[in-house]
Amino acid sequence: MKTLDKTMFRSITRKPLLAAALLAIASAPALAVKPFTADYSANYMGLQGNGTMTLAASGSDRWTYTLNIRSSLAQLTQSTVFEDHDGQWRPLSGNDSSVLLVRKKNKSASYDWGRGEARWSGDVKADRSGPVKLHAGDLDAMLVNLAIPRDLAAGKPLNYRMVDDGRAKALSYQVAGKEIVTVGGKAQQATKVSRSDGNKQTIVWVVDGLPVPARILQRKDGKDEVDLRLNSVR
């Protein structure tokens, strides 16, 4: 069975979606962060896979957030350790790893808030190793998976500064109305938000009360490339 390739996996998690950093908006208080496990089904150009997102406590005000996608031919994992610092989520470290047939890749990120810089090591290009200067409120791309539902519920603009993959980039999502989505066989009303970047578009559906998106769709040149649908969250 074919599966999601590394490029598409990165586009699901480390790019528009599922992450980034607030330009000038404070994070939710620490009490709003709670452990969870979310199960997704994935479709890439008609090819099937399964994904799991988890959030687990890792000490005082520290959390480990992980996305794992598996199939018979591949295992793709991304993980971010972050802290709640005075009401802001600050990434501390990250790791991307993949095994596609016999090909392996591994990349690590380090966010040094004392020095105010981020660096990347492992299987990265020289011009993507950093350092990149950090600003207050910066997030890595994984944290957008949490920031979008949080900020939408709080009525905040979905504007982010992403520091990831050796660069900093401003992202902005716009509310595009309400739609019905299915989560675990149950129809629920969701708020639809989207972001366009040239010939690429990311659409996210958020159900009130859920800590992660209920659906994530990525399109290129008007064609669906990646579709993640939430099955359950606990």
Average pLDDT of adjacent 10-residue blocks, the chain of 234 residues: 44 42 33 84 77 92 90 83 91 90 88 97 94 96 90 94 95 96 95 94 95 92 88 95
Q: For position 44, what pLDDT does the model report?
A: 66
Give pLDDT, residue 62: 95
> Is 229 inside a domain boundary?
no
**pLDDT of res. 74:** 73
Position 194 in a domain:
no
C-alpha span between 217 and 179 (Å, rounded): 14
On whether residue 149 sits in a domain, the answer given is yes
- Residue 224's pLDDT is 86
Residue 68 one-letter amino acid: N
Question: Is 12 part of any domain?
Answer: yes
Tokens read off for 115: 């020095």
- The CA–CA distances, whole Å, from 228 to 43, 71, 85, 155 equal 7, 14, 30, 24
Q: Which domain holds residue 136?
A: 6-173
Residue 204 falls inside a structural domain: no
Tell which phi-psi region holds residue 8, choosing left (phi > 0), alpha (psi between -120 and 50) or beta. alpha
| Residue 166 maps to a domain | yes
Q: Does residue 153 form part of some domain?
A: yes
| DSSP assigned state of 97 | E
Task: Check residue 86 and give its pLDDT.
Answer: 84
CB 14 within 8 Å of CB 164: yes
In a domain, residue 222? The reply is: no
Residue 24 three-state SS? coil
Query: Residue 131 carries which side chain, given as an amino acid letter?
Result: P
Identify the burial level of 187 via C-beta atoms within 10 angstroms of its C-beta, where 0-12 means exposed, 13-18 middle and 19 or more buried.
Answer: exposed
Omega before 131 within 30 of 0, i.e. cis:
yes
Quick check: 200 and 219 in contact, CB under 8 A?
yes
- How many structural domains does the chain have? 1
162 beta partners:
139, 169
Distance CA 191, CA 193 (A): 7
